[in-house]
Chain A
C-alpha cells in the first residue's frame, strides 16, 4: 500500500481512478482534473465525490432553489439567510431564533433507529453551530401503508430512535406530523427540525479567517461509520488482506456525547472563544474544512494524522469521508486555544488542534508530513456542478386532474354520514398519534407552552417577559401530486395558519423538499412547480425561506413518492400567556367557523379513507385570505376574544371538531348552515379556515372585528355536553369517538 500524495498524482497522470464507483460522472471527473491541472489524489477524489454529490451540492435543485432568494420578501426580521447552517430571525427583545428542517430519509429506511436518531443529532448540531441553544425539536414523518408489514419494522424503530436520541439530549419534542400512504412504502420520509435561541450578538458563522488561527476538531473520535461510497476507494488503496471489515454506511449516534458537546459548545460561546464554527455532518471533515476555508478569507492547512480515531486502521480517505457523529470544528485565535481546551476537558470532550488558517488560498491536507490534498476550497464546497435537468409535465397529469371526486358516492343517509365520521376519526392519518408522541419528552427545559397535538408547538424563550416562539410543520403529498404548485402553497398556508391559530405571528419558513429522482423529467417538473409555488407564496405572505434541505431519489424503480414539500413556519408571540390552545374546555362557548367552505374534496382524507381515491384538483389557495385569517386569529388571541382555535385541514371541519372536543373532554352541538350540504359542511377541505370557541361575553366584539375586516364568520354551534351532535343528522358520544380515535395506532404498530 502506498500513499497517493499530490506529488505521486502529478507523476502518475494515467493511473486508473474509481470515479464512477464514487458516483461521479465522466465530465465531473474531467472537470476536477481541469481545476487541479493534474489527476486528483485519492483523498482529493474522495472529497470531491462527496461534496459534489446531490446531497451536498444541490446540483439538480439549485437552479430552482435560487428563487427563494430572488423572490424573498422584504423582511426586517431576517438576520441570516440561506447558505449558512441555518437561517436566523429576529424575534425582538434582543433575541434571535434559528430553525431548520432536514431529511434523513434513506438511512432511516435501511436502519430505522440509527437513521432517525442521527437525523435528530445532525439538525441539532446545525442549530448549535449558529451560536444558539437548541430549545425544541419536531419530526415530520411519513411511512408506507399503516397495515403494511414493513411499516411495523420502520415506524417503531424510527420513533424509538428519535426518542432515544432526542430525549437523552434534553430537548422537548413539541410537534411534527405522522402520515401514512402506500407511496412511501420503501421510501419513508424522516424529516427533523430543531429550533434554537440566542442573543443577536451571539450569532456565529461558518468561516475560517485570520491567518494563524487554529483549527480545532472536538467531540467524538472519528470512526469508520457512515462511509458510503468511499469504501470503494479504500478497496483500491488497501490490500484485501488485513483490511477491516466493511462498516455500516449508516452512522451510529451517541446522544450522551452530543449532550456534552452542546453544553461544552455553549460555554465556549459564552466566553467568546471562537472565530468561526461548523458542525460535521454529511461528508464529515471534507465538508467542514472545505466550507470553513471557502467561506473565509484565507487558506487552511490540516494535519490529518492528528485526528483522534476510534479505529487506527482508517485510511486518510476514510478519515476525510467519515460521517461519525457528534463532532464540531472550530476556528480559534491562538491565545484562546488554552481556555477552549480547558472547557472541553471540563465536559470530558476530546479536542485536538488539527491545523491552522493560512494566508494562502488553498486547502492543504497532510498525512504524516506528506501532502495528500492541495485544492482551491471553493471548488470543493461552493463551485460544484450545476445541472439544468430537463423537466416536463407528465402526460398522466391531465387524466389525474380530470378524475373528479365529485363522482364518488356520498353517504346516503345520516347513519352513513355518522359512520364515515367515525371511520375518518379512526383512520391511520387522522387518528391520535399519542402512541408515538408519548415516546418523546415534551416537558424538559420547563418552557413548553404547547406541544402535540396542538396546532403548533410553542416554547417560552424569556421567563421575565414571556416572549415565546411557535413552530408548525405541514405537507400534503396528495395535494402536491394533484398539483405541485398549489400543493406546496397549501403546505405553507397550513403551517402559517397553524402558527397563527395558537396566537403567534408567522415570521419565516424552512422547508424540506422530498421528491423522487431528478433524472425523471416528470419528477423534475414536480420539483420545479413546487419550488415556484412555495417561493411565490412566501413572497405574498412575507415569510422568507431561511434555509432547508432537498431530498431527491425517494423512489423505488420507476415509482416516485408523491412530491412532498414539507414546510415549517416559525412565529413569535410577545406573551405566551395569551396563547390559544385547541381544546374546547368551557361549556356554553360559541363555535364559529371562519372562512369560506366550498365543495373541495380533491386529495381529501374522505376520498382516501372512504374511496381510496386520488384525483381532481386540490383545494384552492387564497393567500390574502390566509393572511387575513391569521391577523384575526392573532388579534383575537391577544385581546382575549377566543378561548380555543383549531385549523381546518385534512378531514375538514368534522375532524377538527373531533380533535378539539376530545382534547377538552367536552362535546359540541352543531347546526348545519342553510346554504351548505351537511356532507360538504363536514368533510370539505377548503383552505383558509379555522374553528374558534368564543366566550359569550366576547361574541359581539369578535363578530364585529370579523365583520369590519371582511372575514366570513359563521356561528355553527356551541360547546355542550358529552356528545358531538350535528342537529338533524346524528350524535356520537365522546367515549365512542375517543375509542375510534385513540385505539388505531396502538392496534397497528403497538
Chain B
C-alpha cells in the first residue's frame, strides 16, 4: 500500500498540480481535494499548496481559512494528521492559528522569485525526516507577502521548543541564493507546531523535485519522501 496525500485547491490556488506531481514523484498517491468539500476522502496527509487563494484579497489566506475543507483539515491536524502549508498554504495555516505568527509584505516591497538557500533546523518533523539537521537545501522562493513576523515571546518560544523548521541560510553570496530575502524575523523561513505534524514554509519544495525542471535541483523531494516513509513505514 502507499500513502494518500491530499492536495487542496482553493479558488486562486496555483501550485496544486505541481504539488500533486511532487507527491507522485515521491511514490505516494496524490488526491485532489476541493475547497467546498468537507470530506478528505480518506487521505493520510494534506498539503495546502501555494498560490493566491481568493486573490489574496483582504489578506493572504484570510478567506480560504473559512473554506469548508479547512474545518476538517483543522480538526484532523489537531488529531495528528500531517499537514504541510507551502507559501499561501503557510499563510492559511497561520490564519487558522495551527501555526503562530503572520506574513507581512516583503521589506523591499517587491515580488521576489529566486532560488533560495535554506538551512533545515528541525529534521524531526513529519515533513523533514529525510533531511539532516543543519543541512542546506536550495529551493525556489516566490512571493510578495513572505516576511515572517511574530512577537518576541512567540519567537523565543519557537526557538526554545525547536520549532523553527527552516531558516534562510545567510552564510554565502547572494548570487548563490544566500541571504534573508524579505526581512523575516530571525531569518525564519518555516515553522512547525509542537507535535511536529503541521509544518509551514514560504519557499516551494514542490518546484524542486526534478533535475531538469525549474532550478535543476531535487532538494525539495525530501518533504514528500519524508511523509511517505512516515505514513507507510517504508
Contacts and interface: CB of A to CB of B under 8 A. Distances in A.
Count class of interface residues, chain B: 20 to 34
B11 A168 contact: no
B190 interface: no
B160 interface: no
A663 B175 CA distance: 10
Contacts of B215: 443
Contacts of B142: 167, 441, 443-444
A256 B214 contact: no
B223 to A, nearest CB: 14
Nearest to A440: B113
A237 interface: no
A470 to B, nearest CB: 14
Contacts of B214: 443, 446, 448
A260 B12 CA distance: 7
B66 interface: no
Given A163-B111, A168-B52, A444 B18 contact: yes
Given A168-B55, A260-B12, A449-B213, A439 B206 contact: no
Nearest to B36: A346
Given A168-B55, A446-B206, A259 B12 contact: yes
A438 interface: yes
Main secondary structure of the interface of A (DSSP, over half): mixed
A538 B15 CA distance: 38
B113 A256 contact: no
A448 B213 contact: yes
A447 interface: yes
Contacts of B178: none
B158 interface: no
Contacts of A665: 175
Contacts of B51: 170
Given A256-B52, A438-B114, A347 B21 contact: no
Given A160-B110, A256-B12, A443 B207 contact: yes
A423 B144 CA distance: 33
Nearest to B9: A263
B212 interface: yes
A448 B206 CA distance: 13
Contact of A438 (B11, B15, B112): B112
A93 interface: no
Contacts of B204: 443
A444 B112 contact: no
A125 interface: no
A223 B112 CA distance: 32
A439 B111 contact: yes
B78 interface: no
A562 interface: no
A577 interface: yes
Interface in B126-167: 140, 142, 144
Contacts of A439: 110-113
A168 B60 CA distance: 12
A306 interface: no
Interface string B192-219: 0000000000001011011011110000
B52 A255 contact: yes
Interface string A162-183: 0110011110000000000000
A645 B113 CA distance: 25
A445 B52 CA distance: 14
A446 B21 contact: yes
A439 to B, nearest CB: 5
Contacts of A441: 111, 113, 142
Contacts of B209: 446
A434 to B, nearest CB: 9
Highest count of chain A CB atoms <10 Å: which of B14, B17, B112, B113: B113
B11 A347 contact: yes
B52 A449 contact: no
A738 interface: yes
Contacts of B112: 438-439
Given A256-B11, A256-B54, A445 B17 contact: yes
Contact of B213 (A254, A438, A446): A446
Interface in A322-359: 347-348
Nearest to B50: A444
Nearest to A738: B175
A39 interface: no
B42 to A, nearest CB: 23
Given A438-B113, A439-B112, A256 B213 contact: no
Nearest to A439: B111
A183 B144 CA distance: 33
Interface string A731-742: 000000010001
A509 to B, nearest CB: 27
A131 to B, nearest CB: 19
Contacts of A443: 113, 140, 142, 204, 207, 214-215
Interface string B1-29: 00000000001101101100110000000
A396 to B, nearest CB: 42
A576 interface: yes
A437 B111 CA distance: 10
A256 B57 contact: yes
B11 A446 contact: no
A255 B22 CA distance: 26
A442 B206 contact: no
Contacts of A445: 17-18
A446 B207 contact: yes
Contacts of B114: 438
A666 interface: no
B11 A260 contact: yes
A460 interface: yes
Contacts of B213: 446-449, 460
Interface string A436-465: 011111111111110000000000100100
Nearest to B209: A446
B204 to A, nearest CB: 7
Contacts of B144: 167
A227 to B, nearest CB: 24
Contact of A442 (B21, B52, B113, B175): B113
Given A163-B110, A443-B207, 8 more contacts: A256-B54, A259-B14, A439-B112, A442-B113, A445-B18, A446-B21, A446-B213, A447-B213
17 contacts: A164-B111, A167-B52, A167-B144, A170-B14, A256-B11, A256-B52, A259-B14, A439-B111, A441-B111, A441-B142, A443-B140, A443-B207, A444-B142, A445-B17, A446-B207, A460-B212, A463-B21
A-B complex: 7 closest residue pairs judged by Cβ atoms: A256-B55, A170-B14, A446-B18, A443-B207, A168-B52, A443-B140, A439-B111
